[in-house]
Structure 1
Amino acid sequence: MALLSSSPAVAEAMPIEESYPMTDQDFDRIATVVRTTTGIALGPHKRSLVYGRLAKRLRQLGLDDFSSYCDRLDLPEEEDERRRMVNAITTNLTSFFREPHHFEHLERDVIAHLRANPPTGHRLRLWSAGCSTGEEAYSMAMAVVAGLGDLRGWDARILATDIDTDVLAHARAGVYARERCQAIAPRFASRFVHPADRGRVRMADALSQLITFNPLNLFDHWPMTGKFQVIFCRNVVIYFKKEDQKKLFERFADYLEPDGLLYIGHSESLFRVCDRFQPVGRTIYRKVRPS
C-alpha cells in the first residue's frame, strides 16, 4: 500500500510552515479525512509531513491558509480534491522481493503443494492488498510461474489493489529503473526482466497477463465474489488503530479459502488482534478451519 514516509529527504524538502498557517484544528480536519478514507491514523508527529505534502497544492489553488483548504475538502463536489490530497500524503515504500522468505514460502511450499494437489478447475487466486507501484505483485507472479512450471491448464490470477490511483498507473505500466530490480534473483531476471528505454526495464508480458491492477479502499465495499488461496497485506495495518486492524483481518479471513495463507509485514502481528489465523512461519498465517 501507499505508506507514510518519514525519510530525511522528505523533511528537507518541506517548505517553511509560516508560508501557509496550519492550526491544530486544520491538522485534525485533514487527519479525519485521511482516516475516514483510508483507515490510516495520522498522529501529531506527522504534522510536518502533511504540511510539506500539501503546501504545494495550496499554492496551486491560490489559497492563503489550511483552513480555506479544509473548507474546500468539506464540499461534497470536491471528491477529486480529497482523492488528490490522500495521494499527496501517502507515498510508496516498496521493492521487489521485499522480505524474501515470503516469496520462498509462496513458491516452494504453497504453489508446490497446489501443483501437486490441484484445486477444482485448477483455479488459483492471489491478492496483493496495498500493492503500491506493483513490485510485490510482480514478485508474486514470478513465484507463481516458477512454482507451477507450466501455466497451461491453470486458471491463475493475481489481483493487485491500492487506494492510490497514481501508483496503480505506475504498476500497470510495469516499467522500473534498473537499480530498483537488483533484488530480483538472476533466475527470475533472465526470464522476466527485459530492457526498456533510458536505463529502465520492463516486466515480461507473462507476468503482466497474470495481474489485474484495480483501485480499492480496504475500508469500502469489496466487489470480489470468489475467494483467494493467498493474500499479501504487508506493512499496511501498522498505520491503523487496533479496532480497524481487527476488522480488516476478519474480512481477509472471510475472503480466504479454507487453509488459505495471509502474509503480513515484518513489524505486524495478529497476536491479540484476530484469532482466525494460526502462525505457520515468520509473519505467515494460515486461516483456521472452524471446529
Structure 2
Amino acid sequence: MTYPRADRPDSSENTPSKLVLSNNDLSRLSELIYQRAGIVVTSQKHDMVFNRLSRRLKMLNLSHFSQYIALLEQNPNSDEWQSFINALTTNLTSFFRESYHFPVLAEHARAQVRGGEYKVWCTAASTGEEAYSIAMTLDEALGSSLVGPRIWATDIDTEVLEKANKGIYRASDIASLTPAQKKSWFLRGTGEQQDFVKVNKQLRSTIHFQQLNLLASSWNVPEPFDAIFCRNVMIYFDVKTQQLLLQRFAKMIKPGGILFAGHSENFGHMTKHFRLRGQSVYNLV
C-alpha cells in the first residue's frame, strides 16, 4: 500500500483559518479509513491527519472537518474517497531497499522457474522502486521475459501508481545502483531533464501496475504467484487484518513459493500457513 511521506506543518496561507481537528472528528476519520483501507490511525497521528486532510478541505472550500466527514458518509461512491485514502497512506521506498531480499529472490527464481515463467506480486508498489528492483533482479537471474509481464505491482494509492507507471526518477534516486544497472535499464534525460532518468521500455514492459485495495473481497490478479512481496505494509494493520491477509496470501502462492515481509514485521507466531526461512522471508507451509 503505500507507506512514508514527509509531513510538514502547513503554513497559514495553505491551511483554512482556525481549522480545528477535534478528537471526535479524528475518531470518525480513523473509523472511515479503517473501514475502507484497513489502516489503523491512532490519536498519536492527530497532526499527520490534520496536515494531510486540511489540504483537501481547502481544495473543497470546506471550513470544518465535520463537513468533510459528512461529504464522505453521504457519498459512499464519491471520487473523494480515493483522495481521502491517497492522503492518509504513507510512502517510503527506494531501489533495492532491504537489499538482502533480492539475492534470495534470484536464487528462488532460478530454482523454481518453469517454462520461462516466474510471477511475483508486489502488493504495495508505491512509486515503483520496489517493483523495478524486482524486475531488474529477475532479468539478471532469468534473462529477459518472453511471456509478457512477470510482476504484478499493485497499490491502493492511485497517485503513486501514476508515478510508478511512468518510471521517471531523479538521477540521485539510482545513485546506489551499479554502473551496469544504470546503463542497462535507465535512460538519462537531456537539457532541462538532465537530472532525471527513465526506466527503459523493456524493463517497464515486465511490470503490470494496477490499483488494488488489499481489503477488497476479491483480488483481480493472475494467481498463483511464485513469490509475494508485502513489505512494511502489515505494520499499518491490526492483528485481525494481518491474519486474514496472510491466510489469503497462502492461497495465492504456488507450492514452494515464498513471502517477503518487512524487516520489522514478524508473522511466525500468528499463522500456520508460513514458516520463517530467515531475514523476514517466509516459506509456504
Give me the TM-score of the superposition, normalised by structure 1.
0.90
1:146 alignment partner, one of 110, 130, 140: 140
2:175 alignment partner, one of 151, 175, 182: 182
Whether contact under 8 Å (1:160, 1:211) holds in the other structure is yes
Corresponding residue SS for 1:279: strand
Structure 2 stretches of 5 or more lacking a match? none
The aligned residue for residue 51 of structure 1 is: 50
Q: Give the residue type in structure 2 aligned to 1:139.
A: S
Q: Give the residue type in structure 2 aligned to 1:50.
A: V
2:127 alignment partner, one of 133, 141, 158: 133
The aligned residue for residue 214 of structure 1 is: 210
Change (3 A) 1:77 1:226: closer
Give the drift of 1:150.
4.7
Is the aligned partner of 1:281 residue 2:278?
yes
Is the aligned partner of 1:26 residue 2:19?
no
Q: Distance in 2 between matches of 1:205 and 1:273?
A: 41
Give the drift of 1:14.
6.4
Q: Distance in 2 between matches of 1:185 and 1:13?
A: 38
Give the drift of 1:21.
2.2
Give the drift of 1:134.
0.4
Whether contact under 8 Å (1:123, 1:156) holds in the other structure is no
Which residues of 2 match residues 1-150 of structure 1 at below 5 A?
1-5=1-5, 7=6, 10-13=7-10, 19-76=18-75, 79-107=78-106, 109-114=107-112, 118-119=113-114, 121-150=115-144
- How many residues are matched? 279
Corresponding residue SS for 2:172: helix
Cα deviation per residue 1:153-192 (whole Å; 9 max; x = unaligned)? x565100000000101000000001111122233322211
The aligned residue for residue 187 of structure 2 is: 194
Whether contact under 8 Å (1:54, 1:88) holds in the other structure is yes
The aligned residue for residue 244 of structure 2 is: 247
Is the aligned partner of 1:160 residue 2:153?
yes
1:224 alignment partner, one of 221, 224, 229: 221
Identity among equivalent positions (%) equals 34
Q: Distance in 1 between matches of 2:249 and 2:24?
A: 35
Q: Distance in 2 between matches of 1:171 and 1:25?
A: 36
Change (3 A) 1:46 1:122: same
Give the drift of 1:136.
0.3
Change (3 A) 1:21 1:230: same
Q: Which has the higher helix share?
A: 1
Q: Give the residue type in structure 1 aligned to 2:181.
A: F
Comparing 231-240 with 270-279, greater Cα deviation is found at 270-279
Following superposition, which runs of at least 4 residues in structure 1 exceed 4 angstroms of deviation?
14-18
Q: Distance in 1 between matches of 2:228 and 2:11?
A: 36
Q: Distance in 1 between matches of 2:25 and 2:92?
A: 27
Aligned-residue RMSD, C-alpha: 1.8
